[in-house]
Amino acid sequence: MPSKAYIDNVMNLIIQRNPREYEFHQAVKEVLESLKPALDRHPQYLENCLLERFTEPERVIMFRVPWIDDHGKIQVNRGFRVEFNSAIGPYKGGLRFHPSVNLGIMKFLGFEQILKNALTTLYMGGAKGGSDFDPKGKSDREVMHFCQSFMLELYRHIGPATDVPAGDIGVGAREIGFLFGQYKRITNEFNGAITGKSLNWGGSFLRPEATGYGCVYFAREMLKTRNEIFEGKVCTVSGSGNVAQFTVEKLLQLGARVPTLSDSNGTIYDPDGINQEKLIWVKDLKNKRRGRIREYIQKFPKAEYYEGKRPWDIPCQCAFPSATENEISEEDARTLLKNGCYLVAEGSNMPSTPGAVKIFLDNKILYGPGKAANAGGVAVSGLEMAQNAQFIHWSAGYVDTKLQDLMKEIHDNSYRTAQEYGYQGNLVVGANIAGFIKVANAMLELGLV
Ligand code: NDP
């Protein structure tokens, strides 16, 4: 059977078997279509039904999470862990707490995570989990009660050599603390079953910074292919959470100008640019006071706030989506290009719709897909696992050097692979094929399991 027909058959099967899981369909379709050159060249994948096996999670766990709010009322949320693929290492991937969380979103994120983790060069399989619990507006006590109830089920499925969760949207330092505290209490073990831990109790230097810093390091490699640097470039950033904050921080260190941030309510535009001092204020607003980004204009009145808008119509040379999936529409992509943008590096997972990706690729701009550009977070999580296994910690400088080396390797591997398969400069094809071949070969070697 020709590769194209094989891909179409598998895609139809996935849509039939996973009805209404639209984000999962979207993520799988993008990957499978870009694997055609690899399937043409390596018939053993088709002969061994690798696509059917690769797109079916090894295990899906769904569970009830009951807890009591501050008014004494019983609340019930749904918990998930999708253990997608463990061919090259223990399952690894973040936990997301957001009201939009459903099985399709968990599966899309777990699926992307397999390829991302393979690209890091470390030994980690792919997983994702979370809940439709919304930490926004909840007291610390409510968040703790929820996390403890969530872990009361999750603990039996995870472990340092089995499955190692970390943070994602809505799961930051506070939530990781409550989750690990409960894990430790139930299992009576202090180990590396969760990453993103605080430095006080087993965390790695630079884990909070890793996704944002790593994304900028990746984009620096993209710019290098055109002999350019960040100095003086205008870079728009969306979101204002973990990834956005540290993306801005590294961009400022490299001499770029950053005029935007956003949250799910709207976007701020600061014509003077966000500087380190303003960024410290934003970190306090978002991480401690848990406020909204519109408060920025009260503190810095020269800035403007656009309710309900994303930052993509602000002119820039480089764009760093760092909020959520499908946050760049086809129309946004056209606007970005019209205004002179020629680099998009994805801090968030699948932020560009298929139409937007097509526009970026057709116009041959520098486009770094999330699974490659935002792999720095899980890469440093892998380094945290290595440190935990040895009961040691490495210095911030050492971890930063390792992160820079890993991001360069992920870029170069994706770039080289794209070239090898006749798609010069197409990092989507390069990242998907490079990640897939590593996992697919491991699956062949491990037998039919
Ligand atoms: P945070 O929860 O720290 O921040 C998320 C940010 O995105 C907030 O500003 C949030 O606004 C905004 N946001 C969330 N949902 C939406 C939405 N539906 N529409 C508009 N804005 C939204 O999460 P992270 O920074 O950790 O994650 C951001 C992205 O990066 C996600 O796609 C995540 O999967 C990805 N990622 C994260 C990694 C990590 O290490 N943390 C690693 C790799 C990828 P609001 O406060 O209003 O909700």
Tens digit of each residue's pLDDT, the chain (449 residues): 899 999 999 999 999 999 999 999 999 999 999 999 999 999 999 999 999 999 999 999 999 999 999 999 999 999 999 999 999 999 999 999 999 999 999 999 999 999 999 999 999 999 999 999 999 999 999 999 999 999 999 999 999 999 999 999 999 999 999 999 999 999 999 999 999 999 999 999 999 999 999 999 999 999 999 999 999 999 999 999 999 999 999 999 999 999 999 999 999 999 999 999 999 999 999 999 999 999 999 999 999 999 999 999 999 999 999 999 999 999 999 999 999 999 999 999 999 999 999 999 999 999 999 999 999 999 999 999 999 999 999 999 999 999 999 999 999 999 999 999 999 999 999 999 999 999 999 999 999 99
Q: Which residues are marked as active site?
A: 128
Q: How many angstroms separate the alpha carbon of residue 169 from the centre of ligand 1?
A: 4
Tokens of 317: 């040379």
Q: b/e per residue, 53-71, with b = 16+ CB within 10 A?
A: bbbebbeebebebebeeee
Atom of ligand 1 nearest to the CA of 239: 9
Question: Structurally, how many domains does the chain consist of?
Answer: 2
Q: Are 139 and 259 contained in the same domain?
A: no
Q: Is residue 69 part of a domain?
A: yes
Looking at the structure, tell me whether residues 78 and 128 fall in a common domain. yes
**N-to-C CA span, the chain:** 24
What is the DSSP track for 224-271?
Answer: HTTT--STT-BEEE---SHHHHHHHHHHHHTT-B--EEE-SSEEEE-T
My answer on whether 251 and 318 are in the same domain is yes
Q: Beta strands of 329-432 (E only): which ranges?
A: 343-345, 366-368
Q: Check whether residue 66 and residue 131 sit in a common domain.
A: yes
Q: Which of 315, 334, 368 is the last residue before a domain boundary?
A: 368
User: Nearest C-alpha to atom 7 of ligand 1 is from which residue?
Assistant: 323
Residues 131 and 185 both lie in one domain: yes
Cβ of 113 below 6 Å from ligand 1: no
Tokens of 201: 């109790």
Order of strands, edge to edge, in the sheet holding 366-368?
235-237, 318-320, 343-345, 366-368
CATH number at residue 235: 3.40.50.720
Q: Is 368's C-beta closer than 6 angstroms to any atom of ligand 1?
A: no
Domain ends where: 134, 158, 190?
Answer: 190
DSSP H or E stretch at residue 80:
strand 74-85
Query: Among 126, 159, 190, which residue terminates a domain?
Result: 190
Find out whether the beta carbon of 170 lies less than 6 Å from any atom of ligand 1: yes
Q: How far apart are CA 304 and CA 297, in angstroms?
A: 6
Residue 104: what residue type?
Answer: G
For residue 392 the two structure tokens come to 């040691």
Distance 39 CA to ligand 1 centre (A): 34
d(CA 214, CA 114): 18
Residues 95, 166 contacting (CB under 8 angstroms): yes
pLDDT for residue 79: 99
Q: Would the pTM of this model clear 0.95, i.e. be above it?
A: yes
- With a 6 Å cutoff on the Cβ, whether 377 touches ligand 1 is yes
Ligand 1: which atom is nearest the Cα of residue 98? 15
Would residue 442 count as lying in a domain? no
List, in sequence order, every residue forming a beta bridge with 67; answer none if it has no partner.
75
Same domain as 328, residue 246: yes
Q: Are residues 168 and 214 in the same domain?
A: no
pLDDT of residue 416: 98
> Residue 65's domain spans which residues?
59-190
| Closest ligand 1 atom to 170 CA | 2
126 lines ligand 1 (CB under 6 A): no
Partners of 63 in beta bridges:
79
